[in-house]
Structures are given as structure tokens and as C-alpha cells.
Structure 1
């Protein structure tokens, strides 16, 4: 007699320790690991807990809570109905038929700035993986979305050209680190009414390349002078909005050329619930805070500053879009989700994933209709239960992670006076 496959079940995420993570119990990653009682996890008070991974990426796959020896991917490969025919067909090249989800879901706890980085598009990822498989360990692209769960700051995308030109004019230390001919040409072209034109993009590329390839003999002394001026309160009105950022980055990465990216990239300060999306070729660096991050299933990162890790400046410079814009271009605004009362949808312009944020007040409940693709969800606050069909309810609490199979309609119920908060990443292919 065959056993009916349960469409909703708990999974075991993995924790990652990186230098930029928050320390010990101050990290949301550690807090979730402790409250959900991840098997084998022991909190180390001096360790940097940076990421919680939830998914099927082979570098650190999730396992079933009911069978800690079985990976989520192997279980889904044996039960493809949990992924759904449409998703398997759409993402067959990403290994969906082998149980691989097209997205990777994470919690990030950022205590120190991440590197100046970008992610390759699919063609570039395939090329880099073939050329440097030990550095670029898969052949997939990595568009990603970050949703703030605490106050969050980041660098994302290039500043509007006139703003960069204003920094060149007001910050002599920055200007002195760039060849005068490049700086002068950029200042002239920054007034163009067409910032996305080929000449304008070329000028931005030349400027950024000059920054990222500047020799320490050229910029290190200028960077020290800049920090000394800021420390003494000598910033101009134009510089005031980045003074704090420059001093923070310099403290964390003294003498690093990446500090000058404060004058080239948008600096955004986000409140809980706000989100940004970064497609391939968009330069960025997360600075501080706790986020829910979702991406296509990949771990490909091209780095060029603010990091002790391998820097690949040529590939970073070559792979950027050089689209200059206000930071609002990167924002993902939450939208209603069907007729749900306590859920909002973050829907970036890619097929691999969308994310739902569920906030159910104490004693209340929320229904989600069936979704044709698979989901992974985490409880970030509170406790409660999930019910579906005629099955017994599944009790859930803060930090616990669970999988939801394709086609399962759900109801979430808050179990106490506090709100039940859940983030749910899913893929839903239509047609």
C-alpha cells in the first residue's frame, strides 16, 4: 500500500559563518537557529552568524526534519508532484526534475559591509563556470531580492550622473584618485539629457574602471586625507549624506578602494518591509541590517572591493549594465495577494521566484489559495499552526522553516497574543 505524500513539512536549514555576519545571539540567523532547535546547532557567543540557507543548493542543502539524512532535493526528486509539472518543465535546465528548486531562500544578518559585487547573467555565468569552476561553482545567473526585516542600509546601482559629478567637484580627494582626463570628460557628459545613451554609459564605465583599478600609491593617501577631513567636521553640504557611510566603510576596510564607491553608487536606507531587486550586472553592497533574501539558485558573486576574498575586477567591470538612476528604480513595492487580508506580494520581474509576507495578528488567521509551484517559508515572529485539507495541523514557531508542495491551499493561524509573521518564497509558472 502506497503512503500518501504530505504536501507540507518542516525542513532543516543550514547556517553560514562569514566575517561580515552579526555576532552570537545578536544575529537573527543564530536567534532563528536556537528558537527552532536546529539539530546539532550550538550557539557560539563569539562566532559571526551571517546567513541561513533554505533550499536545495548543493553547497549547503536543506534536509527533512523527519529524516535528517535525506536532503530536500532527493525527496522532491522522488516526489515530483510536490514541485509541479509546469515548474519542472519550465526549469528543467536548472535541474527541477532532480528535485532542485529554481530559487534559494536566505536570512542575512549583516554586521559589517559585504563586498562591492555584482552577479553574472546566464551566459556570463556559464562562461565563468567553465573557465574558473573553483571560483564560480555553478552556471546559473543570480538575480536577487532583499526585503528588510530590521532597518537596513545598502549600496545599489549607479547614482544619477549629475550626482556623481557633484561629488567629483566637491570631494577633491575622490577626484585626485582618478585621471584628470577621465574626470573632466565625465563631468561634461553628466549633463546629458540621455543618461542611458552609449556615450554616457561609456563615460560611466571609464570612470568606474578608473576608480576600481586605481593603484594604492594613487588613492590610499587621498582616502586618508578624506577621512581626516570628515573626522574634523570638514565635509561640504554635498558630502553630508555620505559622511557617515564613508567613515563606517573606512573603519571596517581601512585603505580599501571600495570606500570611494560611496560617491558612485546609490546609498539607500530602508525600513522593515521595504525591498530592493537587483538584476544581473547591477553593482551593490549590503551595509547593515537583517534581511530576507531570495535569488535564483546560484552562489556566483563577482567581487571588486570591501572584501578579503578574491577580487575579479576585470569581470566585474565588463559585466555591469552602467544604468545610472535614482534608487527608486530598484524598489519592489508590495502588492495585494489575491483576496488575502494579511498578506502582501513582492513580485520581481523574473520567473524564478516571488515572496509573500504574512502578518497574522494574535488569534486571527489567513488563507492562501493553492499555488501551482513549490514554496519554502520561515516564521520570523510568533507561533501558530498551518492547516490544509483534512490533515492534522502543523504547529509552527519562530525560526522554523517548512516546505509547501505545489497545489496545496493553506490556512495560517496565530497561536497567541503576538503576531505570526511568515515569509514565503515560491515559484508559480502560468500557462
Structure 2
């Protein structure tokens, strides 16, 4: 065969491959467009992750375990702790799209970014900015705080195995049962009382610090209360373990004796309980310095960056910015970073705000913390009731806590029951109905951000 003919044949074969590739690409592009159009309005059922931390409730005593079993069909281990049920895209506990070959929600969103809406894509790129959880707390979580963005970025860079991402983690806990927590530092007046009535703390910190607190109101502002509180808290948290053990032994002995002749305060009763959970732990003493809160079902507590807190007992729905960063310094066997925690805290004093929700309709209340990433709706439907969640220009995730019913959009309908978790694209109206009863929660981007993205 002549050289010109060989060149011609090679050109012909190359051209044929090009046309085949172009045709295939065109078909795939049209398929993606069709699927994308469907995805923009349809309900996406999710298979979700569970976390088995030691503080979680055991076996079927844990709501988290029951939700996980109904969601994924797995067996519950009666001897295992079930602490957190996660709905979101975070790498530490990703959700997966039901009916796919293990496609994560994060990957699915990357392939279908329109489901987030323009505001979210512009502000947070191609990912959910929030993470929704259900918690079943059997015993106290650690005394902890979550870093702001600047500190989170630094900690992640220095210790990526401990601090898993570079994001901040403002959060909100919405009580499903009676829910107890420590949150924020007590007022100056309460601190005076503690320092006068808990000698075991006085023995561990410099007496000059105590004297400053007791006389600060008389010093015409020469001594700042937050600096005095910082000094006391830092010195207490830095005391060696042997001294803490000795002080706790005296404290517990004293309280048990006094219990025979007087009624202990709720904080003193809590300290006795915490010491049984975490013997010889400085966090037991530190509990005297924090607000002790009891939430009723339907009440919510929000916590900003650098605010100390510890959940104690109960079950809740929790929403937060998409992060897993925690700095710990007590009531835990896990890694603690006392110096970082003491240096990062705001040292604000006084009770935190408790949200009771704003009614949207007879069945739904909205809880809006002062954070951009999220808000939460709680919906409790009675027998035969129907409610509509209007379309919003951002994504939502839903989790069904109890009951059964149906959810419907303009292009899909799904039967839902306890444990069902769903992603709903931006711009999608959702109708929920039940012939029995149904309790569910919706998490979405803070509506103020969606409506005023430039603010």
C-alpha cells in the first residue's frame, strides 16, 4: 500500500473515532442534563452514619441506635454505645445516596451543584455548610469548646489527625427529652458564692486570685472580671493530677457528710454524679464554674465559637457548621489540650439564651441561631394532618424521629418513617402528610442569609 493511501486510511480511522467519541459525549451530556433536571426537584433518600462514642447510650436504650437500625437495616449490638446519628457530607461520618452503588451525598452534590442553589454555591462552594445530628447522651461529654475559623485553620494545619478540618463549629442543641448541659461561665455573683463555699477550689488556686474576685466590685474597674476569671480557671485546669485527686477526695467526702444534714444544691448533686463517671478528673471541680442548664423538650441552646460547654444527659437534635473540631480539657479520656482551651475561651459570664422556636404554622416551629450556616424547623403532625414546607433558595435535609407518613415534591414522592433521612434540593416545595402521627426535623441554611446574601 502506498504511503498516501496509508495516510488516508489513518485519517479515516481517526475521524471515525472522533465522531464516535463526539456522539457518545453528546449522549452522556444529554443524560446528565436530564438527570440534573430530575435531581433539582426530587427527594433524595439517604443512608447515614453512626458514631459509637463511649458517652452514648447502650443498645436499644439509645434513640440513635433505633434510628440507625431503621435507616440502614443493620443489627443493633446490645452491648455497644450509640452516641450520634449524622446526616450530611462531613468526611468523618458521610451520608450516602440510597439506591446507588455507595455514592456519597458529597459526591452526588459535586455532580449536581445546582441542587445547592446559587447563594450556597457562591458562599460555600459545592458543599453543604451544615451538619445535622441526633444525639443520645448517656453520660457527660467532655468540657470543650469549638475554635473560631482562624484558630481552626491553625490547629488543622498543626495537628490534622486531631483537628479534622479547618472550619469553625457553632452549634445548636434542640432537646427531644429533658436535656442537661453545662454552658458558659456563671455570673460574678455566683462566682463569689462558689469561692466562699467550695474551699477545695480555693486550695488549688492562688489565694490572690480569689481575693481579686471577692473585691473586684470595689476596685472601680481596676481589675477586669474576665481577667480574674481567666486566671482562676487557667490555674485550676493546670493543677497536677495528684493534687486534683486529693482535693476531689475531700470534696466528695464533705458533700456526702453534708448530705445527711442538709439538701445539696443541684450543682453539688451534679458534681457527685460526675465524679462517679470521671474519677480524679479536674472537670468535676470545673463544673462549679459553669452554668447548669436543664432544657425541656422543644427548647434549644446555641453555642458560639470559643464558648465552654458539656452536654450531660438526654437526647437532642443537634445542628452545626460542617465541622468536627473539638478542643477538650476535662471529663474525658480523650486527648486534651488545656493550654489551647484556656487561651481561646471568651470568658463571658451569665446565662445563655434559650430558644423556644417561632411558630410558622400550627405544626412547625423554627429555631434560628445567630449563625449563617443553619436554622432548624421542628414539625409535629397529628393524625391526618398535612403541612407544606415552602421552597427556599437553599438545600435542606430532613430526619424523621418518630411515626410514619409521606413526603412529596412536584416530581417525587416517598414514604417515610422513623429513621428516614432525606436531602431536598434548593427551590423545592415539600408537602408532608400522615395518617397516624409524625415528628420530623428540617435543617437548612439560615433564611436571613438566603434572602439577603450580600449582608
TM range (shorter): over 0.9
Could you tell me how far 1:263 is from its partner in structure 2?
Answer: 1.1
The answer (yes or no) to whether the contact 2:216–2:223 under 8 Å persists in 1 is no
Number of matched pairs: 414
- Distance (Å, rounded) in 2 between the aligned partners of 1:208 and 1:235: 30
- Distance (Å, rounded) in 1 between the aligned partners of 2:300 and 2:417: 24
Aligned to 2:430: 410
Aligned to 1:204: 229
Residue 82 (structure 2) pairs with residue 64 (structure 1) = no
The answer (yes or no) to whether the contact 1:161–1:190 under 8 Å persists in 2 is no
Aligned to 1:321: 346
The answer (yes or no) to whether the contact 1:11–1:62 under 8 Å persists in 2 is yes
Cα deviations by residue, 1:80-130 (Å, 9 ceiling, x for unpaired): 1111111110113xxxx2xx2101111111101000000000011011111
- Distance (Å, rounded) in 2 between the aligned partners of 1:164 and 1:73: 46
- In our comparison, the structure showing a higher alpha carbon Rg is 2
197-206 vs 273-282, greater mean Cα deviation: 197-206
The answer (yes or no) to whether the contact 1:147–1:291 under 8 Å persists in 2 is yes
Correspondences of 1:35-50 after superposition (within 5 Å): 35-36=70-71, 38-39=72-73, 41-50=74-83
- Distance (Å, rounded) in 1 between the aligned partners of 2:261 and 2:108: 59
Residue 250 (structure 2) pairs with residue 221 (structure 1) = no
Aligned to 1:296: 321
- Distance (Å, rounded) in 2 between the aligned partners of 1:235 and 1:216: 29
Could you tell me how far 1:216 is from its partner in structure 2?
Answer: 2.5
Aligned to 1:24: 59
Correspondences of 1:247-258 after superposition (within 5 Å): 247-258=272-283
Question: TM-score, normalised to structure 2's length?
Answer: 0.87
Aligned to 1:335: 358
139, 142, 158: which one aligns with 1:112: 139
Q: Secondary structure at the match of 2:269?
A: helix
The answer (yes or no) to whether the contact 1:229–1:235 under 8 Å persists in 2 is no
Quote the RMSD (CA, aligned, Å): 1.9
The answer (yes or no) to whether the contact 2:298–2:356 under 8 Å persists in 1 is no
Aligned to 1:421: 439
185, 192, 212: which one aligns with 1:165: 192
226-235 vs 288-297, greater mean Cα deviation: 226-235
Q: Secondary structure at the match of 1:371?
A: coil
Q: Secondary structure at the match of 1:185?
A: helix
- Distance (Å, rounded) in 2 between the aligned partners of 1:9 and 1:46: 32
- Distance (Å, rounded) in 2 between the aligned partners of 1:317 and 1:273: 32
168, 180, 186: which one aligns with 1:153: 180
Aligned to 2:414: 394
Question: TM-score, normalised to structure 1's length?
Answer: 0.92
- Distance (Å, rounded) in 2 between the aligned partners of 1:82 and 1:193: 57
Could you tell me how far 1:232 is from its partner in structure 2?
Answer: 2.5
Q: Flag the structure with higher helix content.
A: 2
- Distance (Å, rounded) in 2 between the aligned partners of 1:124 and 1:397: 40
- Distance (Å, rounded) in 2 between the aligned partners of 1:131 and 1:243: 39
110, 113, 123: which one aligns with 2:150: 123
44, 47, 51: which one aligns with 1:12: 47
The answer (yes or no) to whether the contact 2:392–2:428 under 8 Å persists in 1 is yes
- Distance (Å, rounded) in 1 between the aligned partners of 2:88 and 2:75: 21
Could you tell me how far 1:336 is from its partner in structure 2?
Answer: 2.4
* Structure 2 CA distance for partners of 1:355 and 1:75, relative to 1, 3 Å: same
The answer (yes or no) to whether the contact 1:162–1:190 under 8 Å persists in 2 is no
The answer (yes or no) to whether the contact 2:395–2:444 under 8 Å persists in 1 is yes
- Distance (Å, rounded) in 2 between the aligned partners of 1:208 and 1:306: 15
- Distance (Å, rounded) in 2 between the aligned partners of 1:204 and 1:102: 34
- Distance (Å, rounded) in 2 between the aligned partners of 1:152 and 1:191: 38
Q: Secondary structure at the match of 1:406?
A: coil
The answer (yes or no) to whether the contact 1:166–1:238 under 8 Å persists in 2 is no
Cα deviations by residue, 1:187-238 (Å, 9 ceiling, x for unpaired): 22267898xx981111110011011111223332121111112223349989
The answer (yes or no) to whether the contact 1:379–1:422 under 8 Å persists in 2 is yes
Q: Secondary structure at the match of 1:107?
A: strand
Unmatched runs of 5 consecutive residues or more in structure 2: 1-30
- Distance (Å, rounded) in 2 between the aligned partners of 1:368 and 1:227: 52
